[in-house]
């Protein structure tokens, strides 16, 4: 069958058929959706067209609250991401935050390259290039290009989980109502999601004084002990949980706090 000449017109017709089918299958489906949403999952993913969260999770409209951007980069100074995070955690009260990277990520390809992409993309990929720089020895030792891209995608997810675990509203929700934070990788070649064992998928323990400690399940990271911490201040260069350092050689390094407070 030949592809449609106008993909947008085809998409509109496909939507009409889908809406009719869903309405016939369950007459209350759309009226119920119109009354409000109560998703249990906040999905933080990449804008890549091959990674549609509802489809690959086998879920329905209303099941997943979503934020996606190029290379699923989470920055503690990004108000777009932070507003979605706060709304989902504080107001919707999602039960799970899922940060998903993926194989064959174009953002990772760009970050691994020494060439400029041009436009705003070079600035956007600065945090991912910082992850590359911090793990250059490991990444350089990987001979296969696909595996190197995959490994950077995994390291990027870990960096993003660190940002999440350092966020005040996330820490508070973990302690007060058991919010779960997960880091996963979607394999485009197989369609399967791999749990990377990050975030609260590590071991959570509570001490006698009520403070929570976290072992995130990754080698060499040890235990993160709780301690008092102020509410994050969102500053362009330096914040309570991260510091973006611009060097004279036109490189930049994003440093995320490794010891975080959960109380």
76-100 tens-digit pLDDT:
999 999 999 999 999 999 999 999 9
Choice among 50, 68, 96, 151 that is catalytic: 50
In sign, the C-alpha dihedral spanning 145, 106, 151, 258 is: positive
Q: Indicate if 96 belongs to the active site.
A: no
**Domain definitions of the chain by residue range:** 38-256
Choice among 67, 78, 102, 171 that is catalytic: 102
Superfamily (CATH) of domain 38-256: Carbonic anhydrase (3.40.1050.10)
Choice among 51, 100, 105, 108 that is catalytic: 105
pLDDT band at 219 (very low <50, low <70, confident <90, very high): very low
Q: pTM for the full model?
A: 0.78
Q: Tell me which residue has tokens 């706090």.
A: 257
């Amino acid at each position: 069958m030949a592809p449609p000449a106008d993909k947008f017109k085809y998409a509109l017709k496909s939507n009409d058929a889908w809406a009719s089918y869903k309405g016939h299958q369950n007459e209350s489906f759309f009226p119920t959706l119109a009354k409000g949403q109560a998703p249990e999952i906040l999905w933080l993913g990449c804008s890549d067209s091959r990674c549609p969260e509802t489809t690959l999770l086998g879920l329905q409209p209303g099941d997943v609250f979503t934020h996606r951007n190029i290379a699923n980069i989470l920055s503690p100074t990004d108000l777009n991401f932070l507003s979605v995070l706060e709304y989902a955690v504080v107001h919707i009260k999602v039960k799970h935050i899922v940060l998903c990277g993926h194989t064959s990520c174009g953002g990772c390809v760009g970050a691994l390259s020494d060439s400029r992409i041009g436009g705003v993309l070079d600035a956007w990929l600065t945090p991912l290039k910082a992850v590359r720089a911090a793990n250059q020895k490991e990444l350089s030792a990987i001979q296969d290009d696909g595996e190197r891209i995959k490994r950077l995608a995994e390291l990027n997810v870990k960096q993003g989980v660190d940002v999440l675990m350092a966020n005040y509203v996330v820490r508070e929700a973990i302690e007060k109502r058991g919010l779960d934070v997960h880091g996963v990788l979607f394999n485009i070649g197989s369609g399967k999601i791999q749990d990377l064992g990050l975030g609260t998928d590590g071991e959570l323990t509570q001490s006698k004084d009520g403070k929570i400690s976290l072992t995130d399940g990754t080698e060499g990271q040890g235990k993160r002990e709780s301690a008092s911490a102020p509410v994050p201040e969102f500053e362009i260069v330096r914040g309570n949980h991260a510091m973006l350092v611009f060097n004279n050689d036109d490189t930049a390094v994003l440093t995320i706090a490794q010891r975080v407070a959960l109380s």
